[in-house]
A and B are shown apart, each in its own frame.
Chain A
Amino acid sequence: MQPVTAATAARRRAALMRYALVAPAIVIIVGFMVLPLGLMLTYSFLEPGRYGGVVWSYSPEAYIRFFFERDLDDSLVFNLAYVRIFFRSFALAFVTTLVALLIGFPAALYIAMQSPRWRNFLIFLVTVPFWTNLLVRNYAWILILREQGLINEGLLAVGVIEAPIRMIYNNFGITVGLVYSFIPFMVLPIYASLERIDFRLVEAAYDLGANRWQALRRIILPLARPGIYAGCILVFIPCLGAYVTPALLGGGRNLMIGNLIQLQFGASQNWPFGAALAFVLMAIVLLSMLFYLWRFRGRGTGGLGVG
């Protein structure tokens, strides 16, 4: 029965092929996600070593410490410091995402409506800042925003203001820096979803009597929704862990989660607590994503596009 054996062999080969094709993905997931996260989780339940590192003995202290704190005299008191730092980080990340969306969406829409060649050039321009180091770009913002900076000097010279405006070393400075740093992550996915829109639909909307605002709201926005969601997530989550921008443009006066974690692995030599902080952050992000999926399942168009 030649044809049957051939079919079995072919099926077997196909199965093998499938495993072979999946293997790299599994290796990547295990090697780059499961292992590091497992290590981090393990570390968060250990005791801190003398000069950094960990001692291999179980301790939940790192998690207790997130809410409670031993006072300077070692009594246990309820502690809002870390919660406050988390809250600030979420608030700043939220505002940044909102501003990035308000600027990024019109920009993406504008690009999507250009001729293909011009479009590609504009998208290329969006990615240009990535050619330079983030640190350097944030320094540039210091030179622009500070009281002796370009904007203030310019406004003073023209006579619009009489004294320099404080635009840096506060939340405003951090927000400007974060929006600037992450806005390409908003523009690119939105552009990707807008680019696929058949603009004849918009013409059809006009024909049916829609004005520009209605066309935008009823046609373009729903179709761009996956890109908008993806963009918001891509901006919001890295913002939470931002480290360079708050340190430079915020004047280091208020810690954000990223700075707090860095401090634990650096000067404070408490790796378990650093790992626990990173884990709490990740848990919050994961839970809110799950909530989002559960709450809005089936209502979105084609899911998030990103994990």
Chain B
Amino acid sequence: MTGRTRPILALAAGFALASGTAGAQAEELFLYNWTNYTSPEVIEKFEEETGIRVVIDTYTSNDDLMARLQAGGAGYDVAVPSDSYVQRLIEEDLLIPFDATELENFANVMAPHDAPFYDPERMYSAPYMLGTTGIAYDSAVIDGEELPHSWDVIFNPREEFQGEIAMLDNIDEVAYAAAFYIGAEDVCTEDPDEWQQIQDVLMAQRDHVKLYNSSGTHDAMIAGEVLMHQMWNGAAHRAFSEKDTIRYLYPEEGVVFWMDNFVIPEGAQNVENAKKFINFMMSPEAAGLSSNYSGYMSAIRGADAYLNEELQASPMVNMPEEYSERLTMPPPCGDRHVELRDRVWTRLMQ
């Protein structure tokens, strides 16, 4: 969820936590989640099914979560940090291992979410929601023709899109896309030859790019300012709901994504309940209903059957499973990568 905001939800949940008793009651579960990210319907079903009462508290950034857990937990049984934060929490011994692969519903988890770099064994975490960076374009311009799922579409655009393209104004997102396109071994490449190729690709593309933009990307597509935009799936979905000729591509060379995960923080009083909850959340129904609520996609196979019609019809949210192998989550790239990236970007923008 890094850098993407969710509107504020119920604050009331926070107060409920304060009144919860410290003594471990087998019937309780303290959930610490992002705002606007927990479906009340799903919680109700869980409470009905298990008899466990769920108490919810919320936060708005990974750093808030880190700070709270570093300060000695607050008796939370389940929290929902994003990718690299899971790694940091593991390194700081702030999580209880529970081996998610042992949970019954883990079989529903689609690759590659079963083995992320930040917790390859899924010993400390289980997947919740994720988002991707792909390509959105307006198919109306080419009479509804479908473009192939490839970065070639945007780096080597056909005539109709030339000069009508926007790339994200994020040096890292643009670099990842170009690295995929040239077939770099690693998106965090530090190889000078590969960087030379990346530079050539970006320089050649530059004349076709109308703008580099990261704010209001969906609006730029809806208004028709650009006809193709490197885009986050959430924005693409919003654009699509306003203009149904917009398509979203998951390039076969590779797509980066972020992901939020369930973890059990150190100091949890109800570890067994936490496991039950995490298992429940990995069921297709809970995952589907959660997507309906948050508008993000889950990593759970079969969840699409429970999506509402709008999300069902949205390829930005309801990603076909065959694309999931294209997803890559870059770890924080090294110094050398960052340095070469900066040089190429400066040359591009000089």
Give every chain A residue within 8 A of B346 (Cβ-Cβ). Answer: 81-82, 85, 255, 260, 263
In the complex, the chain A residue whose C-beta lies closest to that of B342 is A268
- A146's partner among B170, B223, B335, B350 (CB-CB below 8 A) is B223
- Say yes or no: A253 contacts B209, CB within 8 Å: yes
- Say yes or no: A251 contacts B213, CB within 8 Å: yes
In the complex, the chain A residue whose C-beta lies closest to that of B171 is A267
- Say yes or no: B211 contacts A251, CB within 8 Å: yes
**Distance A264 CA – B206 CA, assembled complex (angstroms):** 22
- A169's partner among B210, B215, B224, B342 (CB-CB below 8 A) is B210
**Distance A148 CA – B164 CA, assembled complex (angstroms):** 13
Binds B, one of A69-77, A91-99, A187-195: A69-77
- Min Cβ gap B228→A in Å is 14
- Say yes or no: B192 contacts A267, CB within 8 Å: no
Interface residues of A in 48-87 (CB under 8 A from B): 50-51, 69-70, 72-74, 80-82, 84-85
**Does B47 make an interface contact (CB < 8 A)?**
no
Give every chain B residue within 8 A of A248 (Cβ-Cβ). Answer: 215
**Distance A3 CA – B166 CA, assembled complex (angstroms):** 82
- Min Cβ gap B286→A in Å is 36
- Say yes or no: A72 contacts B196, CB within 8 Å: yes
A263-B342 contact, Cβ under 8 Å, with A146-B223, A255-B349: yes
A268-B171 contact, Cβ under 8 Å, with A146-B225, A148-B225, A253-B211: yes
- B225's partner among A147, A259, A263 (CB-CB below 8 A) is A147
A254-B349 contact, Cβ under 8 Å, with A50-B335, A146-B225: yes
Give every chain B residue within 8 A of A129 (Cβ-Cβ). Answer: none
- Say yes or no: B338 contacts A268, CB within 8 Å: yes
**Distance A254 CA – B340 CA, assembled complex (angstroms):** 19
**Does A270 make an interface contact (CB < 8 A)?**
yes
In the complex, the chain A residue whose C-beta lies closest to that of B163 is A166
**Does A247 make an interface contact (CB < 8 A)?**
yes
A72-B343 contact, Cβ under 8 Å, with A81-B350, A252-B169: yes
Q: Mark B312-350, 1 if CB is under 8 A from A, else 0.
A: 000000000000000000001001001111111111011
**Distance A74 CA – B210 CA, assembled complex (angstroms):** 32
In the complex, the chain A residue whose C-beta lies closest to that of B211 is A251
**Does B212 make an interface contact (CB < 8 A)?**
yes
Q: Mark A232-266, 1 if CB is under 8 A from B, else 0.
A: 00000000000000011001111100011001100
**Does A171 make an interface contact (CB < 8 A)?**
no
- Say yes or no: A51 contacts B332, CB within 8 Å: yes
Give every chain B residue within 8 A of A80 (Cβ-Cβ). Answer: 350
**Does B137 make an interface contact (CB < 8 A)?**
no
- Min Cβ gap A49→B in Å is 10
Decide if the interface of chain B is mainly helix, strand, loop or mixed: helix
**Does B248 make an interface contact (CB < 8 A)?**
no
**Distance A69 CA – B206 CA, assembled complex (angstroms):** 22
- Say yes or no: A269 contacts B338, CB within 8 Å: yes
Give every chain A residue within 8 A of B341 (Cβ-Cβ). Answer: 267-268
Q: Mark A145-184, 1 if CB is under 8 A from B, else 0.
A: 0111000000000000000000001000000000000000
- Say yes or no: B170 contacts A251, CB within 8 Å: no
**Distance A203 CA – B68 CA, assembled complex (angstroms):** 73
- A253's partner among B196, B215, B339, B349 (CB-CB below 8 A) is B349
- Say yes or no: A72 contacts B340, CB within 8 Å: yes
Give every chain A residue within 8 A of B211 (Cβ-Cβ). Answer: 169, 251-253
In the complex, the chain B residue whose C-beta lies closest to that of A70 is B343
- Say yes or no: B350 contacts A84, CB within 8 Å: yes
- Say yes or no: B224 contacts A148, CB within 8 Å: yes
**Distance A214 CA – B335 CA, assembled complex (angstroms):** 64
- Min Cβ gap B8→A in Å is 20
**Does B119 make an interface contact (CB < 8 A)?**
no
- Say yes or no: A267 contacts B213, CB within 8 Å: no
Give every chain A residue within 8 A of B340 (Cβ-Cβ). Answer: 72
**Distance A126 CA – B14 CA, assembled complex (angstroms):** 46
**Does B195 make an interface contact (CB < 8 A)?**
yes
- Say yes or no: B210 contacts A251, CB within 8 Å: yes
Most buried by A among B196, B211, B224, B338: B211
**Distance A72 CA – B197 CA, assembled complex (angstroms):** 11
**Does B199 make an interface contact (CB < 8 A)?**
yes
- Min Cβ gap A108→B in Å is 34
**Distance A251 CA – B211 CA, assembled complex (angstroms):** 4
**Distance A263 CA – B195 CA, assembled complex (angstroms):** 19
**Does B253 make an interface contact (CB < 8 A)?**
no
- Extra 9 A-B pairs, beta carbons < 8 Å, given A251-B210, A267-B341, A267-B342: A148-B224, A251-B211, A252-B169, A253-B211, A254-B349, A263-B342, A263-B346, A268-B338, A270-B342
Residues of B in contact with A (beta carbons under 8 Å apart): 169-172, 192, 195-196, 199, 206, 209-213, 215-216, 223-225, 332, 335, 338-347, 349-350
What are 19 of the A-B contact pairs (CB < 8 Å)?
Answer: A50-B335, A70-B343, A72-B195, A72-B340, A72-B344, A80-B350, A84-B350, A85-B346, A147-B225, A148-B224, A251-B212, A252-B169, A252-B213, A253-B209, A253-B349, A254-B349, A268-B338, A268-B342, A270-B339
The list of the 6 closest CB pairs from A to B, nearest first, reads A251-B211, A252-B212, A268-B342, A81-B350, A255-B349, A252-B169
